[in-house]
Chain A
Amino acid sequence: MSIKETIIERYPSREQLVQNGIWRSELYRNRASMAGCDRSWLWRTLVLTPHMEMDVSPFEGDLLPVPLITTKREEEEQEGDQQVKPTSHERSISEYRKKMQHNIKMGIRRLTPREVVHDPLQDSKGAHVPTIENDELSLDEALEIIDLDLSRLMLDDMFRDPAVLAQLRQLLYNYLIISKQRQSSHSFIKDPMEENGDSGEPTTFRYKQGYHEILGLIYLQLSPENGTTILDSEMMRNVLNIYIKLMDQVAPVFYDEQALINWDETQFSLILKNASPILYDVMYENGNSHNNLIWLLRWTKVLFLRELPRDQVLIIWDHLLTFTYPIANYVACLIVTLLLSIYDQLLELNKHDSDHDDIIEMMLHFKENKVIPSIDMVELCKLAGNICELWYSRQFHDIKSICDSFIKLKTGIDTSNTIDPNRQRLENKLRQNVMKSLSKGK
């Protein structure tokens, strides 16, 4: 029996699937069956079933083709082809190929605007100037970075196929238009070329590296099982709608610098402080939260894709896509649980890591170094959900209790009686000095 059949048989409603199947981990009891399973049906059921108060109705039309941004040379080249009328998909593949050739020939790339109105490096607390405008790119700039990123999308071999890449490019283009128009409180989708009348001037867009990777995983999961066929128009709409729904919560927090700093200050660090004051002191000892943001940037932007094995990431995304908790909050809780899982390693590193670099290095190489040899991700997801619940109901003492129990279970360390880590470090150093003196005496 397939996963789809099992779910249909066992859960008559989406609610039951979410409550029992995912959050009570019933789906994962037979880990082997979920391990290699593609999530196409599951994610479509979770996200696209009409069940939630949607901010906007889902996208239902045809995706816009990516406009061709040409140079004079390309225009001349195209003059000879005017009588050919390819299909829209053929056009987009051909445009993609031409664009890549153009990049190689011309090599002009301006990834970010040359001038910014306000230098955020000069800002201070309370003097925040919204950064979104500064991040915006013209259409050709955005498409150039998208092409570069897609050419380096290594999630699966299928992303070597130009036809697949052309579809991803089209999806990202449509997402950029939709997000831009929603940001401007416009109607759902409209050709940006029409927005400016006949001027033909492209509007500006906000694309950040990492968008492509999140889209890549959704596309991969929704692609046909043989992995070689491109998606039909209905499945393209499904991918776009799941992506929009996810990015609605991810982009404003994790891809906006000031919002990410706020998230660290008002959510992540505070949850960590409540979960384990000792670990909080270790991670924020020098009072410079930016040190943690260096690794948190990637952890949050691509939602663990580069930090954990794919099977683990899929379990996390199953939970995220239930939208039971705000994603920013849930991600904070989940990262806290991962830190708790390596509580002993972090404390050990901190003994010698006066400048925090070793901790940053470990967090940046979490996957390669297999920092947690065997993660029970289902258990961590559940614990993160519990912390979320307690956080919302302001049961801070209970957060600490369940986290103390978890640390004890994982590491054998009893953290219920707090010892100041600085004092602990001082004691350790004194102990080392005494040992040295004693050994010299011998």
Chain B
Amino acid sequence: MNNEDYGYDYDYLFKIVLIGDSGVGKSNLLSRFTTNEFNIESKSTIGVEFATRTIEVEGKKIKAQIWDTAGQERYRAITSAYYRGAVGALIVYDISKSGTYENCNHWLKELRDNADDNVAVGLIGNKSDLAHLRAVPTAEAKNFASENELLFTETSALNSENVDQAFRELITAIYQMVSKHQVDLGDSGNNAAAAPKGPTISLTPTPNENKKSSSSNCC
């Protein structure tokens, strides 16, 4: 689980944002997924941080660039830059704090307002190791996720439970959307109407030999 795996060598780059209230464990989910580390004494995130990990999905190397945002920042012009180009998002709450779950609705709204329409979203109930303090029933969260067409997983960044799975599911869902989109485009003879709405989707298929090459680069 090395952050430097594959380095500049990947097929797709997916930008994923982690959002949710302060203290729900976003930074530790990020570090658990990207470097397999957990820091029981992690600092409050100021602004934004990001880290990457490249994984293989259906034979393709996918570099996940994961942006961890400060929980207190919301409805802000600068932080909206975080959402630009995001193709996936994980809304995180703490299963032992019902307030953080209640706020998921607002995070989802913010995401819908700012991110691309096609962004794939997962709901994460983190800190599942605190089962004895559970304040959010799994069934309720699952129901909320289902109503809003979100992936759903309960995780524990502390003991690693389901963290990899949650990210992999999201990345796979994004990849499948991309593949389907490419097939659709092929079927419809590159019909522009089949293209996703919205300005951003930066699902740039990237040639292995050229990191993050963009179609706008002329040479």
Contacts and interface: CB of A to CB of B under 8 A. Distances in A.
A361 interface: yes
Contact of A354 (B42, B94, B98, B217): B217
A316 B42 CA distance: 25
B47 A290 contact: no
B182 interface: no
A427 to B, nearest CB: 10
B46 interface: yes
Nearest to A108: B99
A426 B219 CA distance: 7
B78 A209 contact: no
A116 B75 contact: yes
Interface in B62-81: 65, 70-72, 74-78, 80-81
Contact of B97 (A108, A145, A213): A108
A428 B46 CA distance: 37
Interface string A417-442: 00000000010011001000000000
B4 interface: no
A26 B12 CA distance: 54
A134 B81 CA distance: 20
Contact of A148 (B44, B46, B49, B106): B44
Contacts of B97: 107-109
A116 to B, nearest CB: 5
Contact of B50 (A134, A258, A290, A364): A364
A120 B76 contact: yes
Contact of A294 (B75, B78, B133): B78
A210 interface: yes
B71 A121 contact: no
Interface string A243-269: 000000000000001101100000000
Interface of A: 104, 107-112, 114, 116, 119-121, 123, 134, 145, 148-149, 152-154, 208-210, 212-213, 257-258, 260-261, 288, 290-291, 293-295, 297-298, 301-302, 306, 352-355, 357, 360-361, 364, 426, 429-430, 433
Interface of B: 21-23, 41-50, 65, 70-72, 74-78, 80-82, 85, 94, 96-100, 102-103, 106, 113-114, 133, 135, 202, 211-214, 216-217, 219
